[in-house]
Amino acid sequence: MGHTSTAGHPTPAPKKRWYRQLYFWVLTAILIGVLLGWLAPTAGIAMEPIGTTFVNAMRMLIGPIVFLTIVGGIASIADLKKVGMTGLKALTYFQVGTICALVFGLVAINIFRLGEGVNATASTIKTTDAAAKLIDAGAHQEWWQFLTNIIPTSIVQPFIAGDILQVIFIAVVFGIALNAMGKLGAPVLDGVQRLTGVMFKILGFIMKAAPLGAFGAMAFAVGKYGVSSLTSMGGLIALFYITSILFVVVVLGSVMAFLKLNIFTMIRHFKEEYLIILGTSTAEPALPGLMRKLEHAGVKKETVGLVVPTGYSFNLDGAAIYLSLAAVYIAQATNTHLSIGQQLGLIAVMLLTSKGAAGVAGGGFIALTATLATIGTIPAAGIMLIFGIDKFMSECRALVNFTGNAVATLFIAWWDRTLDADRVRRVFAGEVVEPNPGDLPAPAPAAAVEPFQPADRHPAYSESQ
């Protein structure tokens, strides 16, 4: 196969030329988009349909891929108790991680206190129509609604609306039922595995347009929002980015070190996904790639299928840092004094409200407003103070969310004693390793079988061949 030396030791995978790498073209497209939006804002804004079309095409696949992966994982497990235990462990880890992220944001804004001196009066703050809708949605958002909304009104509606939590609920129920059928369900399970392969093949087609999507999204963002907000609120943006980087290196890096893995080699392994997130300002398009690469790295399919999609709704480290930092900044800017007890109360409320708007457009602002409305001491209209710079922080939120879910999946696999740390280390280092049995769906007839390649170079998920 050409991936071992004469001594039998694995060697790094042969790399394509730099100009044929997907990440190179995505990075180039991002830079061109920034220049177009900066130098010709009108033309940049006109590129919006290109970016939204790509993101919509990716979102089209997320529901089916999540459903098929979870069903395939659960239906193939001999002991269903393991599914429940894995889910419980994941939720426990998510809550601990969210608390750490909230505390990071809280400590950062209390140390630097960037809101002091703004002296904004809540009654005189003008809100735009777009912001007013988000404020109203947040004010009517109850902390318990994310629990009751998990159960959909129809089996099709979650796939149409893109509600990942509801898709997870349907998939878990379906997978358990299929598992309970035993041999009678085997043909259905085989079909699920083959459909999973089809979905990833479609994903491969769409990923070829990733540079166009990143170009359109970045050109629109820079053209519409400009750089004036960066100069007026640069301190808050810088604080958020620095706090997020420290969280990734210190907290998530410590978790990886505990697993005897390196956070930086993991980040390098997911470079294509990071650039897509950077270009589109959302982590959703990178979800299928994260799942595929983690499976190939040595995490069991059932663990990936359950932890990653759930983490996209419950393990939002970047959003948690943003929420605590923004809430206290608004309090400082409006001269609203918060005691230590009240700030700890903010964390308790955010543990719930941060889950309520997952996957919803403007979800960060809805969660923030819901928190402020619940506390009642910080004026909700104060979100207008940061409304103009939110776009410049959304990329960072998405990148941290993505990183947090990758680390969480590896940790839960270790907790379940199913993590092959040596394999993960080798894959992250770029070596070619033999496939896991669960890496790919059920094989096609012998004549149609393609030689296996690692997930980041497999035709079902790779750049142009």
Tens digits of per-residue pLDDT, 346-378? Answer: 888 888 777 755 555 556 677 787 788 777 788
Query: For every residue of the chain, which 3-state class applies, written as one string?
Result: CCCECCCCCECECCCCCHHHCHHHHHHHHHHHHHHHHHHCHHHHHHCHHHHHHHHHHHHHHHHHHHHHHHHHHHHCCCCCHHHHHHHHHHHHHHHHHHHHHHHHHHHHHHHHCCCCCCCCCHHHCCCCHHHHHHHHHHHCCCCCHHHHCCCCCCCCHHHHHCCHHHHHHHHHHHHHHHHHCHHHHHHHHHHHHHHHHHHHHHHHHHHCCHHHHHHHHHHHHHHHHCCHHHHHCHHHHHHHHHHHHHHHHHHHHHHHHHCCCCHHHHHHHCHHHHHHHHHHCCCHHHHHHHHHHHHHHCCCHHHHHHHHHHHHHHCCHHHHHHHHHHHHHHHHHCCCCCCHHHHHHHHHHHHHHHHHCCCCCCHHHHHHHHHHHHHCCCCHHHHHHHHCCHHHHHHHHHHHHHHHHHHHHHHHHHHCCCCCHHHHHHHHCCECCCCCCCCCCCCCCHHHCCCCCCCCCCHHHCCCC
pLDDT given at position 142: 60
**47-51, 72-76, 139-143 — which is least confidently predicted?**
139-143
Q: Residue 6's pLDDT is what?
A: 40
- pLDDT tens digits, residue range 52-61? 899 888 888 8
Among residues of the chain, what percentage have pLDDT more than 70? Answer: 80
- The tokens for 44 are 């940049």
Mean pLDDT of 229-235: 65
Nearest to 398 by CA among 291, 285, 277, 289: 277
Phi first, then psi, for residue 10 (nearest 5°) are -65, 145
Q: Is the pLDDT of residue 410 over 60?
A: yes
Tell me what pLDDT residue 47 has: 93
Predicted confidence band of residue 241 (pLDDT cuts 50, 70, 90):
very high
Nearest to 137 by CA among 373, 346, 393: 373
Interacting residues of 208 by C-beta distance below 8 A, sequence separation 6+: 463, 464
User: Among 43-47, 132-136, 161-165, 312-316, which is the least confidently predicted range?
Assistant: 132-136
Q: What is the tens place of the pLDDT at every residue in 373-407?
A: 777 788 877 877 887 777 778 889 889 999 999 99
Cβ neighbours, 10 Å, residue 178: 20
d(CA 195, CA 189): 10
